[in-house]
Amino acid sequence: MFTGIIEELGRVASRDGSRLAIEAKRVLSGSDIGASVAVNGACLTVVARGAGRLAFDLGPETLAVTALDDLRPGDAVNLERPLALGGFVGGHLVLGHVDGIGLVTDSHRTGESARVRIEWQDESLAPLVIPKGSVAVDGVSLTVAALLDRAFEVMLIPHTLSHTTLGAVKPGSRVNLEADMIGKYVVRSLSLRGGTP
């Protein structure tokens, strides 16, 4: 369980087949082999540690449903350790289970902030995104500022722009999306009862 509050920007050190090595500082503490770390919003298991880096194996399912396959050495990534029981939830509850990939279709600055439009690629995400609801974009907890037919918009404050990878997104960028957990349970419950979400 995560909160969508990014602890640090890591950097891809290497990518060898399914093995992804990330340079990090802050999240190294407590991230022993077997621990979970959210990398751009995807919960991954630490399989190796080295000086200033963590390594993860990317399985076929992870590569199929996330944008992690786009990562190349030198790319920045959002990193977050799991929420400690009794810890402060500054964003919203995030599982690190990516629901799908979003495509950035517009990004423009409004003063010191930015407005970003993201189009979901899987229609099953449509009922899970609501106006003023929570959504995790590459692991960053954000509020839906506007909802369109196949897309939503978020506003990014200066802190988010400078402390996460979202400050560098542009039209054509692919991002990981995770909808609010409660909404997913509601949609599933309605579908089992024969309702229309």
> For the segment 94-136, what is each residue's pLDDT rounded down to a tens digit?
889 999 999 999 999 989 999 999 999 989 899 889 999 999 9
Same domain, residue pair 67 and 115 = no
Does the residue 90 lie in any domain? Answer: no
Indicate the residue among 80, 113, 133 that finishes a domain. 80
Q: Is the pLDDT of residue 196 over 70?
A: no
d(CA 22, CA 14): 7
Does the residue 94 lie in any domain? Answer: no
The confidence score (pLDDT) of residue 43 equals 97
Same domain, residue pair 124 and 171 = yes
Indicate the residue among 80, 109, 127 that finishes a domain. 80
Same domain, residue pair 24 and 55 = yes
Q: What is the maximal distance between C-alpha atoms in the chain?
A: 53
Does the residue 120 lie in any domain? Answer: yes
Residue range 155-192, pLDDT digits in tens:
999 999 999 999 999 999 999 999 987 777 787 788 78
Same domain, residue pair 71 and 35 = yes
Contacts of 40 (CB under 8 A, 6+ apart): 66, 67, 68, 71, 77, 78, 138, 139, 165, 175, 176
The confidence score (pLDDT) of residue 59 equals 95
H/E/C letters for each residue in the chain? Answer: CECCCCCEEEEEEEEECCEEEEECCHHHCCCCCCCEEEECCEEEEEEEEECCEEEEECCHHHHHHCCHHHCCCCCEEEEECCCCCCCCCCCCCECCCCCEEEEEEEEEEECCEEEEEEEECCHHHHHHCCCCCEEEECCEEEEEEEECCCEEEEEECHHHHHHCHHHHCCCCCEEEEEECHHHHHHHHHHHHCCCCC
Whole domain around residue 119: which residue ranges?
Answer: 100-192
Same domain, residue pair 178 and 121 = yes
Does the residue 87 lie in any domain? Answer: no
The confidence score (pLDDT) of residue 186 equals 80
| Domain at 129, CATH number | 2.40.30.20
The confidence score (pLDDT) of residue 88 equals 64
Count: domains in the chain: 2
